[in-house]
């Protein structure tokens, strides 16, 4: 039986030396209190550090995950999958039979309607628990689970819609990261994890460190966007983070807000940008728009502007060119070409 595919281990990111990308030349800033590059979003605690576990097998699984994976988030997700199995069967998951696990997958797939990706992740977590940790190599349920992603095209905004959406984000501390996501095609986590050392403003380059698949990449950044980032950083002057969390407290007192952001120990949470974008979308009446829609829109507009697919692939950080090719179907030119061909086919047909 084949072993489940394991997420790639993330090597430590190379250290960057301070440069004049964000900080004005000669500007002195306090040394960062953070000892490492924090990830954007909510911090996930490694299950091996939990104070208690529902069963001894779950504690053993937490230790198994900690030995195998470096990412706390990966350990957290796999442990959570097995915790859901434990809650569904209402007993120690190490004691359930193969038929009970098969019933669980039938339940989440046909009753709860889980998406294919979620089903596959749960199957991978269960295979780690039951096959690799407990040694049930004779179980065949995992070879029976087949799911296929639905080939749905992502939502894309026009350039005017992007402009209107950003205008409706009234606070600069939220508008600036959303604008950067669109202008550089970043993922939300990549944007909020940026540090001041990742922006090479004089070279119009931006380093994405430990992106999806733990890969680094270098993307171009426009001069006006660099100037926006410099202006935004000059407000809070955090010694490391580009988008620090605003924290709790009065939002109207700019001096106190800047002080909280300067002392922040984590980047801005994901939910802040997502919530404001949904509000702006409702005000404008756009049916589909999320933070990730800005990344899709960037790629589509790049292809419309004549950028090669391999160029867009490198900027987005796609491993496979087939992932990038989906944007060919979303361009305005593709729609016009399709309409022209359909009209040609129908032109001389009898009524």
Count of CB atoms within 10 A of residue 228's CB?
A: 17
Average pLDDT over residues 112-134: 95
Average pLDDT of every residue of the chain: 85
Active site members: 187, 212, 292, 295, 318, 327
When pLDDT is averaged across residues 165-192 and rounded to a whole number, the result is: 93
How sure is the predictor about 25, in pLDDT bands with cuts at 50, 70 and 90? low
pLDDT at position 327 is: 87
- Of 74, 44, 47, which Cα lies nearest the Cα of 62? 47
Supply the pLDDT for residue 45: 84
Residue 343 has pLDDT above 60, yes or no: yes
Residue 16 clears pLDDT 70, i.e. is over it = no
Higher pLDDT, 1 or 290: 290
For residues 114-140, average pLDDT: 95
Mean pLDDT score, 169-175: 92
pLDDT given at position 22: 67
Give the per-residue pLDDT at 1: 45
pLDDT-wise least confident of 9-23, 43-57, 114-128, 330-344 = 9-23
% pLDDT > 90, the chain? 59
Task: Please give the residue that has the higher pLDDT: either 247 or 166.
Answer: 166
Tens digits of residue pLDDT in 292-328: 999 999 999 999 888 888 999 999 999 899 888 888 8
The domains of the chain are located at 47-144, 159-337
Domain 47-144 has CATH 1.10.150.130: yes
Q: 25: which 2 tokens?
A: 């030349």
Supply the pLDDT for residue 35.
53
20-29, 130-139, 332-341: least confident range: 20-29
Q: What is the pLDDT of residues 185-213, one digit of tens each?
A: 999 999 999 999 999 988 999 999 877 87
- Please say if the pLDDT value at position 146 is more than 80: yes
The pLDDT of residue 270? 86
CATH of segment(s) 159-337: 1.10.443.10
pLDDT tens for 210-249 read: 778 778 899 999 999 999 999 999 999 999 999 999 888 7
Q: What is the pLDDT of residue 250?
A: 72
Euclidean distance between CA atoms 114 and 274, whole angstroms:
22
Residue 200 or residue 19, greater confidence: 200
276-285: average pLDDT: 90
Q: In whole angstroms, give the CA distance from residue 127 to residue 136.
A: 9
Question: According to the model, what pLDDT value does residue 11 have?
Answer: 47
pLDDT at 33: 58
């Amino acid at each position: 039986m084949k072993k489940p595919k394991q997420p790639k281990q993330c090597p430590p990111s190379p250290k960057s030396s301070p440069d004049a990308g964000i900080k004005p030349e000669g500007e002195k800033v306090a040394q960062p209190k953070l000892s490492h590059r924090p990830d954007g979003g909510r911090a996930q605690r490694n299950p091996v550090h939990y104070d208690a576990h529902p069963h001894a097998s779950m504690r053993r699984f937490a230790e198994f995950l900690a030995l195998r994976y470096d990412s706390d988030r990966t350990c957290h997700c796999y442990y959570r999958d097995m915790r859901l199995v434990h809650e569904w069967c209402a007993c120690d998951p190490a004691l359930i039979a193969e038929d009970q696990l098969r019933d669980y997958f039938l339940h989440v797939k046909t009753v709860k309607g889980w998406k294919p990706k979620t089903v596959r992740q749960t199957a991978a977590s269960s295979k780690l628990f039951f096959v690799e940790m407990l040694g049930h190599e004779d179980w065949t349920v995992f070879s029976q689970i087949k799911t296929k992603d639905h080939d749905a095209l992502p939502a894309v905004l026009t350039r005017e819609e992007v402009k209107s959406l950003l205008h409706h984000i009234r606070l600069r501390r939220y508008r600036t990261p959303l604008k950067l996501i669109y202008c550089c095609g970043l993922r939300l986590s990549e944007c909020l994890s940026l540090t001041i050392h990742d922006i090479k403003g004089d070279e119009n380059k931006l380093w994405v460190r430990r992106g999806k698949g733990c890969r680094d990449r270098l993307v171009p950044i426009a001069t006006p966007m660099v100037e926006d980032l410099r202006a935004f950083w000059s407000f809070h002057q955090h010694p490391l983070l580009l988008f620090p969390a605003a924290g709790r407290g009065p939002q109207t007192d700019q001096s106190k807000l800047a002080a909280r952001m300067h002392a922040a120990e984590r980047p801005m949470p994901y939910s802040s940008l997502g919530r404001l974008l949904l509000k702006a979308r409702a005000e404008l009446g756009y049916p589909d728009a999320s933070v990730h829609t800005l990344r899709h829109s960037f790629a589509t507009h790049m292809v419309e502007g004549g950028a090669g697919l391999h160029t867009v692939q490198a900027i987005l950080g796609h491993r496979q060119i087939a992932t990038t090719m989906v944007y060919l179907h979303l361009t305005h030119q593709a729609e016009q070409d399709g309409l022209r061909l359909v009209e040609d086919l129908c032109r001389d047909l009898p009524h």
